[in-house]
C-alpha cells in the first residue's frame, strides 16, 4: 500500500517506512539466509516496475545495513534497470564475507552494482562520506524513478553484532539528504524498509530519528544533497 501510494500519479504520499520483520536483504533468488526469508526490497522493486510500468522503469536500492546484502546483489547482478549501492562492514570472517569493491555486476548489469566496503568500527563521518562521494554521483548518473532503502541499524553504536559506531542522529541526517536527492531525481519517491538491528534500545532510537526526519517539513538550507555534514 505504501509503495502504491508513493508511485500513483495522483498520490499525495511520496515517502514511507515499512517495518519489515523478518528482514530480507540476505535472501537470494532460491534460498533464505541470515535471518531473512524473502527479500522484501527486491520484491518491492519488481512490483514497482510491474504494477506501475509507466511510472517506474529504473529503481535505485541503497543498503546501509552493516552486513552486505548479498541476496539483493545476487538478484540484480545482471539487471541494468536496478542500481544497487551498498555501504557495509567488510573483512574476513565478518558475515557474509561478500561486498568487495570489485563486485560490480556482469553482462548487461555490469556497473550497476556498487559496493563501498568499510572497516570495523566505522562511524558517522565514514557513512556520510560514502553517501556524498559514491551514492550521490551514482544516483545522478542512473536517474532512478524511485529510491528504496534497505535501512538496517546494526551499524549503530551499541548494536551487539555490528561492531561500529554510527549514531542515531546520523541516520536522521541521512534521511534528510536522501529526501533532497529523491526530490531532485524522482519526484520525492523514497521508501525505507527495515533490515537489521539487534538492540531494542538502539533500534528504537534509530528508527525514531529516521521517522522524525521522514515527516519533518523541508528545511530551508541548501538543496544540494550531502553538501553540509551534520
Cβ atoms 6, 214 nearer than 8 A = no
Contacts of 164 (CB under 8 A, 6+ apart): 66, 89, 120, 121, 122, 123, 154, 155, 156, 157
β-bridge partners, 63: 86, 150
Rounded Cα distance between 206 and 161, Å, is: 16
Rounded Cα distance between 15 and 36, Å, is: 24
Q: What is the set of active-site residues?
A: 26
Amino acid at each position: 500500500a505504501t509503495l502504491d501510494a508513493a508511485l500513483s500519479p495522483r498520490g499525495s504520499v511520496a515517502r514511507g517506512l515499512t517495518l519489515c520483520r523478518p528482514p530480507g536483504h540476505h535472501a537470494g533468488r532460491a534460498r533464505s539466509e541470515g535471518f531473512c526469508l524473502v527479500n522484501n526490497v527486491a520484491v518491492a522493486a519488481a512490483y514497482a516496475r510491474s504494477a506501475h510500468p509507466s511510472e517506474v522503469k529504473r529503481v535505485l536500492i541503497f543498503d546501509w545495513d552493516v552486513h552486505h546484502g548479498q541476496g539483493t546483489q545476487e538478484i540484480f547482478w545482471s539487471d541494468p534497470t536496478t542500481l544497487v549501492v551498498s555501504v557495509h562492514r567488510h573483512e574476513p570472517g565478518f558475515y557474509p564475507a561478500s561486498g568487495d569493491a570489485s563486485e560490480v555486476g556482469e553482462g548487461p548489469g555490469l556497473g550497476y552494482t556498487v559496493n563501498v566496503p568499510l572497516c570495523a568500527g566505522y562511524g558517522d563521518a565514514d557513512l556520510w562520506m560514502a553517501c556524498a562521494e559514491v551514492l550521490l554521483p551514482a544516483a545522478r548518473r542512473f536517474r532512478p524513478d524511485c529510491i528504496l532503502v534497505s535501512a538496517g541499524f546494526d551499524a549503530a553504536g551499541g548494536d551487539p553484532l555490528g561492531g561500529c559506531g554510527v549514531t542515531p542522529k546520523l541516520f536522521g541526517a541521512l534521511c534528510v539528504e536522501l529526501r533532497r536527492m529523491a526530490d531532485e531525481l524522482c519526484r520525492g519517491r523514497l521508501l525505507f524498509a527495515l533490515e537489521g538491528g539487534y538492540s531494542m534500545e538502539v533500534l528504537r532510537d534509530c528508527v525514531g530519528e529516521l521517522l522524525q526526519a521522514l515527516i519533518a517539513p523541508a528545511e530551508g538550507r541548501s538543496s544540494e544533497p550531502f553538501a553540509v555534514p551534520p
